[in-house]
């Protein structure tokens, strides 16, 4: 009888005992499954209620199915201390596997019961147990339980198909109907494509998913936005002069006769229009660019709306001829409404978001960037300075006001990150209402803030929008989380860089974003920084753009290769550290992301606040975001980190001139403990001056975990690589408390003044 107190130890020994270690993958919160398929395992030190553990494994299989992963034929439950394996056929539980379960798989399983009897392998007492289990698993011939495709799992299987075949969405649906790639995993799909009408954007192939923006509007947000559409309709004057019974704007049963049209140039499958009434839909014109979406849109809503653009299914490689909203200033089908002085145009849109301008998004030479050469984008480039046209949504926004919205009672109800108004200044129109919502529900990566705003056409010079509620979704209903007030930003921090040259400056070295030196021949492009060296230069600072995110901040010991910043010198460094502090503004909740901007709108007033400068000095020198390091340069010079509190640095000498608060003294004490611990590390160099980042990067080493019995590294069964552990556990434990305390210090002492001085708006 075994006596395990830790499940993981027994699990690893079980896999070794049955020679399964090299055949098992451990991920998706499971205890492991055969990499090539056939069986999923669930371990417990002692299984007291088999049905409960079985239900946990069923939930895991449910999640694998939803992700487009095969459902293993065998469910193996292992009671480690009993040395018994309970083996089930998953096909017997398909109706449970094809359900959706929310929350932890290990909880709320006591309600499950089954009459199915497992095969029991008593591997602790049966000498033939290994043979029996391996015969059951049949590793060389893995078996699966075929599942049915439905709304819950189709996205996962579509994504898998695209990854493995690089084919189109038409091919994907053909595969679902007549499985070939998935012949061992799924039953032929017998449904209709409009079964998936609400997630059709998510079923686009990977190329068109980027091309079309690939996000849909969650129903609760669409329902809330429909209220703004109705407020726009309320603004349209009653057309009492029109008595024509055949008027194209006359709707049967209407109480008030109004001439208006609702336009969505990027309707997709029409989810945004779902909450509109039948009368409102009769005033609606929709446009879409993708053949499959057109078919669904026409099937679902074609008999309810005024028109669908384009009116036919003519297409080239699945993209509709006449459906590209950026190929013409105004859709020909919309000209009569735009030109009619008595017709109000109400645009109701969630434009596709695609940002160009950086290879981190995709290759600039790829076809995904073809929209950049569209007629509308070219015209915007001629009329709008700057980089606003690098974002596809901005081209839609600009063209709406440029070509469609010209009359007093026209309106635009727009879903978009608010920076188009805040710092890109694309819209200077009358604000008529709005709200914010969590972008996480739109099918895009990451949580951030989307604004939904009702704009009129009257020009204004607003610098601050009225407070608007911010909504999240819980249990399919919107829930207000907070209220957000957005202020316009005008001047980036770069306008208060100190770029004064010094006649003693000489050529210097260059580093990458990690702070480490790079030679020209080892860098992918030409350096954009002019590298300088001088005894009075202590660092290089850059705060790109308005967004306070990790891509927009650099603080290194020498010039950064593509920095576009400025050098901090002994004489000016203290007054410029607040710029770094502003760039580190935490967007740690969705309703702080894509809302705030780092600016110099408040000028240099912050430089006179001595306590604020002290706080920014402490934050900078204790922050791991500060990538200043000490190193031996390729030019033979020793570069020391002066922006840390190691003994004898410029920062330490500067801090000594200040009186510290109790909170600050505690921070410095934690730093001193960290520094003293770091000095015990093998790689500690007494010639260097260390900051938190360099200690964490260079001294806090990780080493291989060694099996005490064999003396060999313990391998990760998923990757085959050695598992690692901290070489210095004492040192490794010092970073998290310091970072947490520093974050609290920032929130109390720095963040309020960033707003006060206009460094954050």
547-592: per-residue pLDDT in tens? 888 777 999 999 999 888 999 999 999 999 999 999 999 999 999 9
Q: In Å, what is the CA distance from 456 to each residue of 1, 178, 406, 561?
A: 77, 51, 10, 45
- Determine the pLDDT at residue 207: 65
Query: Rounded mean pLDDT of 729-735?
Result: 93
pLDDT band of residue 720 (cuts 50, 70, 90) is confident
What is the DSSP code (8-state) at residue 166? -
pLDDT digits (tens, 9 = 90+) for 320-341: 899 999 999 999 999 999 999 9
- Determine the pLDDT at residue 318: 74
Torsion of CA 183, 188, 193, 198, to 10 degrees: -70
- Determine the pLDDT at residue 445: 57
pTM of the model: 0.71
Could you tell me the residue ranges of all domains in the chain?
7-137, 154-211, 219-240+255-484, 493-756
Q: Which two tokens stand for residue 663?
A: 């909170």
- Determine the pLDDT at residue 214: 43
Task: Determine the straight-line distance between the first and last CA of the chain, rounded to whole angstroms.
Answer: 66
- Determine the pLDDT at residue 1: 64
pLDDT digits (tens, 9 = 90+) for 492-546: 999 999 999 899 999 999 999 999 999 988 888 888 888 999 999 999 999 988 9
H or E stretch covering 344: strand 344-349
Sign, Cα dihedral of 423, 425, 427, 430:
positive
Length reported for the chain: 761
Query: Rounded mean pLDDT of 149-170?
Result: 87
User: If we measure between CA atoms, which residue out of 629, 551, 538 comes closest to residue 587?
Assistant: 551
Cα separation, 723 vs 704, whole angstroms: 6
What residues does 645 pair with on adjacent strands? Answer: none
- Determine the pLDDT at residue 308: 87
pLDDT band of residue 213 (cuts 50, 70, 90) is very low
Task: Report the range of poorest mean pLDDT among 180-189, 223-232, 290-299, 660-669.
Answer: 290-299
- Determine the pLDDT at residue 551: 77
CA atoms within 13 A on the CB side of 326: 25
Query: Rounded mean pLDDT of 148-162?
Result: 86
Cα separation, 317 vs 256, whole angstroms: 44
Query: Rounded mean pLDDT of 463-478?
Result: 95
Superfamily in which the 219-240+255-484 domain is placed by CATH? Vaccinia Virus protein VP39 (3.40.50.150)
- Determine the pLDDT at residue 199: 65
Query: Rounded mean pLDDT of 275-298?
Result: 84
- Determine the pLDDT at residue 198: 58
Residue 687 contacts residue 638 (beta carbons within 8 Å): yes
- Determine the pLDDT at residue 201: 66
Q: Which two tokens stand for residue 65?
A: 């199915």
Residue 207 contacts residue 368 (beta carbons within 8 Å): yes
pLDDT band of residue 365 (cuts 50, 70, 90) is very low
pLDDT digits (tens, 9 = 90+) for 50-85: 999 999 999 999 889 988 899 999 999 999 999 999
227: Cβ–Cβ under 8 A, 6 or more apart, which residues?
A: none
Q: In Å, what is the CA distance from 636 to each residue of 44, 341, 509, 633, 677?
A: 59, 75, 11, 5, 29
Tell me: pLDDT of 413 over 50: yes
Tell me: pLDDT of 373 over 90: no
């Amino acid at each position: 009888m075994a006596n395990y107190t830790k499940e993981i130890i027994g699990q690893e020994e079980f896999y070794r005992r049955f020679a399964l270690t090299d055949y098992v993958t451990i991920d998706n919160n499971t205890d492991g499954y055969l990499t090539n398929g056939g069986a999923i395992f669930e371990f417990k030190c002692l299984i007291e209620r088999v049905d409960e553990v079985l239900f946990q494994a069923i939930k895991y299989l449910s999640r694998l199915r939803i992700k487009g992963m095969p459902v293993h034929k065998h469910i193996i439950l292992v009671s480690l201390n009993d040395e018994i394996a309970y083996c089930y056929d998953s096909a017997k539980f398909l109706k449970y596997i094809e359900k959706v379960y929310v929350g932890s798989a290990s909880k709320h399983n006591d309600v499950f019961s089954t009459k199915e009897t497992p095969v029991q392998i008593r591997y602790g007492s049966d000498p033939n147990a290994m043979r029996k289990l391996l015969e059951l698993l049949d590793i060389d011939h893995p078996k699966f339980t075929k599942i049915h495709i439905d709304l819950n799992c189709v996205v996962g299987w579509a994504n898998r198909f695209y990854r493995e075949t690089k084919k189109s969405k038409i091919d994907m649906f053909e595969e679902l109907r007549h499985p070939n790639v998935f012949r061992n995993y799924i039953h032929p799909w017998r449904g209709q494509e409009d079964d998936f009408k609400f997630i059709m954007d998510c079923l686009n192939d990977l190329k068109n998913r980027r091309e079309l923006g690939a996000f849909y509007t969650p129903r609760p947000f669409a329902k809330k936005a429909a209220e703004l559409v109705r407020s726009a309709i309320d603004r349209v004057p009653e057309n009492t002069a029109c008595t024509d019974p055949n008027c194209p704007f006359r709707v049967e049963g209407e109480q008030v006769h109004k001439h208006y049209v609702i336009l969505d140039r990027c309707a997709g499958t029409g989810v945004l229009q779902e909450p509109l009434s039948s009368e409102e839909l009769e005033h609606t014109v929709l446009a879409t660019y993708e053949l499959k979406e057109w078919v669904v849109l026409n099937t679902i809503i074609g008999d309810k709306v005024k028109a669908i653009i384009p009116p036919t299914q003519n297409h080239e490689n699945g993209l509709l001829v006449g459906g590209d909203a950026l190929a013409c200033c105004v859709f020909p089908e919309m000209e009569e409404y735009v030109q009619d002085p008595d017709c109000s145009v109400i645009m109701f849109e969630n434009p596709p978001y695609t940002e160009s301008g950086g290879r981190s998004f995709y290759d600039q030479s790829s076809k995904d960037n073809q929209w950049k050469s569209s007629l509308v984008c070219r015209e915007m480039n001629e009329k709008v300075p700057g980089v606003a046209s690098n974002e596809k949504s901005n081209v839609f926004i600009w063209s709406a006001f440029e070509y469609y919205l010209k009359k007093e009672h026209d309106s635009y109800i727009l879903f978009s990150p608010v920076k188009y108004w805040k710092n890109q200044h694309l819209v200077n129109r009358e604000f008529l209402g709005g709200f914010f919502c969590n972008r996480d529900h739109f099918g895009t990566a990451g949580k951030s803030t989307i604004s939904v705003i009702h704009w009129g056409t009257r020009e204004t010079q607003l610098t601050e929008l009225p407070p608007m509620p911010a909504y999240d979704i819980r249990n399919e209903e919107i829930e207000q989380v907070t209220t957000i007030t957005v202020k316009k930003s005008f001047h980036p921090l770069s306008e208060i860089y100190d770029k004064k040259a010094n006649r003693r400056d000489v050529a210097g070295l260059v580093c990458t974003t990690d702070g480490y030196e790079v030679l020209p021949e080892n860098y992918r492009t030409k350096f954009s920084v002019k590298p300088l060296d001088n005894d009075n230069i202590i660092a290089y600072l850059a705060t790109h753009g308005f967004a306070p995110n990790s891509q927009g901040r650099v603080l290194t010991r020498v010039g950064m290769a593509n920095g576009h910043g400025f050098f901090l010198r002994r004489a000016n460094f203290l007054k410029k550290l607040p710029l770094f502090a502003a760039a580190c503004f935490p967007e740690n909740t969705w309703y702080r992301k894509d809302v705030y901007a780092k600016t110099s709108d408040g000028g240099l007033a912050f430089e006179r606040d001595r306590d604020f400068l002290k706080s920014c000095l402490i934050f900078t020198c204790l922050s791991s975001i500060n990538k200043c390091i000490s190193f031996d340069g390729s030019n033979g010079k020793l570069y020391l980190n002066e922006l840390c509190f190691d003994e004898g640095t410029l920062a330490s000498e500067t801090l000594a001139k200040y009186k510290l608060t109790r909170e600050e003294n505690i921070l410095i004490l934690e730093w001193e403990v960290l520094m003293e611990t770091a000095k015990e590390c093998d790689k500690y160099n007494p010639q260097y001056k260390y900051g938190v980042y360099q200690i964490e990067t260079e001294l806090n080493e990780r080493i291989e975990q060694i099996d005490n019995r064999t003396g060999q590294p313990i391998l990760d069964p998923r990757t085959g690589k050695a598992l690692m552990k901290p070489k210095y556990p004492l040192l490794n434990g010092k970073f998290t408390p310091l970072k947490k305390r520093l974050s609290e210090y920032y929130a109390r002492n720095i963040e309020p003044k960033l707003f006060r001085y206009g460094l954050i708006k």
